[in-house]
């Protein structure tokens, strides 16, 4: 029987020749990812259920990347990182990226592929809804709660339902003003905030194949914003080049069957898509940037797992070069590697650091989730009043960045940068 990419990966992980949508199967887990916000609770469940001294099923497959509440004075946040550190030491975990040490990475969904833990064809579960990011490298990846994660810690497997696949084909050439963020916001706008509930969102087509891994990650990252179980892109040469540059571990790529039945299909032409925003307070609240020039802004924010990669900062710098921002502009690289790349990267002989400084951006913050999800009150960039923020993050829920009264407009880094210059929502083509 013909199977989609997601079905094929799950069939292999379940040790079955065939699986179909709706089948409940036990799958073997390749990587369990957790962080400081859900890790301590997961460890609590694991120890309660398997025993205080129990050992995890495989210490090389539990990856802990603290990232949420790192640069804060909050005592419980520090206690939680201490809990992770003690656990990692006792369990002899091979991969614990410890804050305050040279192993610290930053935002888990950018760090996970950068540290070589994402490989095509594998099954990744994480205690974070944006774990779906890793489908960008041809893996099955989805978010789970602490209890399921505690089960995996002890058993190395999980019972899951095989999702139906919704296929999104984006054809044509990606114009220079269009980014992965614009593509996924358009799709979510079309199908709705719960338009892919319980489904796999598979992205394909010539435009998707032109995108870098980072841009593909932006798209898969936001599959959850349509309620999807996973987002996924078939691996290709761009994938293999990225993966091989980050790990020497072997992997076996999986490809879907061309004749596999899917739940639905939608096709887009990249050249007809335009820079856009998602208006408050749901990511499906689509609007074209050029039709929202009247929206005045108080702040621009570039960061997070979906919008804080080096490609995002390069895009922002392309727009900001030679201009001044009109509103406070916050830059939060997702990981230490991104922060280092910002220092190393240049546009026309000028470093990104110089471009951002000359544009009048705030000093670049240390890598973490920062204000993407509000967090403790001393979190960098957190909103505290009625701010209107244009942000490269993935959620614009009420109170998401801190204050319930603030309004968040989601956008690509090109649009966030152009809007920072004008102080109102601006189509980046005005500066290209």
The yes or no reply on residue 345 touching other proteins (CB under 8 A) is: no
Out of 59, 147, 350, 358, name the contact with other proteins by CB under 8 A.
147
Angstrom distances, CA of residue 244 to CA of 125, 139, 212? 22, 15, 15
| φ, ψ dihedrals at 143, nearest 5° | -90, 145
Out of 319, 342, 373, 414, name the contact with other proteins by CB under 8 A.
373
Q: Record the tokens describing residue 331, joined without a space.
A: 């830059």
The yes or no reply on residue 27 touching other proteins (CB under 8 A) is: no
How far is 141 from 33, CA to CA, in rounded Å?
A: 10
The yes or no reply on residue 406 touching other proteins (CB under 8 A) is: no
Q: At what angle do helices 180-191 and 413-422 cross, to 10 degrees?
A: 100
Out of 96, 97, 104, 151, name the contact with other proteins by CB under 8 A.
151
Nearer to other proteins, 85 or 229 (CB): 229
The yes or no reply on residue 370 touching other proteins (CB under 8 A) is: no
The yes or no reply on residue 400 touching other proteins (CB under 8 A) is: yes
Out of 1, 266, 404, 432, name the contact with other proteins by CB under 8 A.
404
Contact 165, 198 (CB under 8 A): no
The yes or no reply on residue 104 touching other proteins (CB under 8 A) is: no
- The number of residues making up the chain comes to 432
Instruction: Report 176-195 residues binding other proteins (CB under 8 A).
Output: 193-194
How far is 302 from 362, CA to CA, in rounded Å?
A: 11
Q: How far apart are the first and last CA of the chain?
A: 49
Q: Can you tell me which residue has the tokens 């991969």?
A: 95
In whole angstroms, the minimum distance from the beta carbon of 194 to other proteins comes to 4
Contacts of 204 (CB under 8 A, 6+ apart): 167, 168, 169, 170, 233, 234
Per-residue contact string for residues 120-139; x = within reach of other proteins by CB under 8 A:
------xxxx-x--------
Residues that bind other proteins in the complex, under the rule CB under 8 A:
37-38, 40-41, 44-45, 48-49, 68-69, 74, 76-77, 80, 83, 126-129, 131, 143-148, 151, 193-194, 197-198, 224, 227, 229, 282, 373-377, 395, 397-400, 402, 404-405
């Amino acid at each position: 029987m013909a199977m989609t990419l997601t079905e094929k990966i799950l069939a292999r992980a379940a040790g079955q020749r065939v699986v179909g949508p709706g089948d409940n199967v036990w799958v073997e887990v390749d990587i369990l990812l957790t962080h400081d916000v859900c890790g301590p609770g997961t460890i609590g469940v694991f120890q309660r259920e398997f025993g205080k001294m129990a050992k995890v099923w495989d210490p090389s497959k539990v990856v802990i990347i603290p990232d949420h509440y790192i640069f804060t004075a909050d005592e419980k946040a520090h206690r939680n990182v201490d809990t992770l550190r003690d656990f990692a030491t006792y369990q002899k975990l091979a991969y614990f990226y410890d804050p305050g040490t040279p192993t610290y990475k930053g935002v888990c969904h950018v760090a996970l592929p950068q540290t070589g833990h994402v490989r095509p064809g594998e099954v990744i579960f994480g205690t974070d809804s944006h774990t779906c990011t890793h489908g960008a490298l041809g893996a099955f990846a989805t978010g789970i709660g602490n209890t399921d994660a505690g089960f995996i810690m002890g058993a190395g497997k999980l019972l899951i339902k095989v999702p139906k696949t919704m296929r999104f084909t984006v054809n044509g050439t990606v114009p220079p003003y269009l980014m992965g963020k614009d593509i996924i916001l358009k799709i979510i706008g079309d199908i709705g905030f719960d338009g892919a509930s319980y489904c796999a969102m598979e992205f394909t087509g010539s435009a998707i194949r032109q995108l870098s891994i980072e841009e593909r990650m932006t798209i898969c990252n936001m599959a959850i914003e349509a309620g999807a179980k996973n987002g996924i892109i078939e691996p290709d040469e761009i994938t293999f080049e990225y993966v091989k540059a980050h790990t020497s571990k072997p992997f076996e790529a999986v490809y879907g069957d061309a004749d596999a039945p899917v739940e639905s299909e939608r096709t887009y032409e990249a050249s007809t898509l335009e820079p856009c925003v998602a208006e408050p307070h749901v990511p499906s609240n689509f609007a074209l940037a050029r039709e929202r020039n009247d929206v005045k802004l108080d702040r621009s924010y570039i960061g997070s797992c979906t919008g804080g990669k080096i490609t995002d900062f390069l895009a922002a710098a392309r727009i900001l070069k030679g201009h001044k921002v009109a509103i406070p502009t916050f830059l939060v690289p997702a990981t230490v590697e991104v922060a280092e790349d910002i220092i190393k990267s240049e546009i026309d002989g000028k470093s990104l650091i110089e471009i951002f400084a000359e544009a009048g951006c705030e000093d670049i913050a240390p890598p973490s989730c920062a204000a993407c999800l509000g967090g403790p009150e001393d979190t960098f960039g957190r909103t505290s009043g009625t701010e209107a923020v244009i942000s490269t993050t993935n959620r614009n829920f009420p109170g998401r960045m801190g204050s319930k009264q603030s309004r968040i407009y989601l956008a690509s880094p090109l649009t966030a940068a152009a809007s920072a210059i004008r102080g109102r929502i601006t189509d980046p083509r005005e500066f290209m």
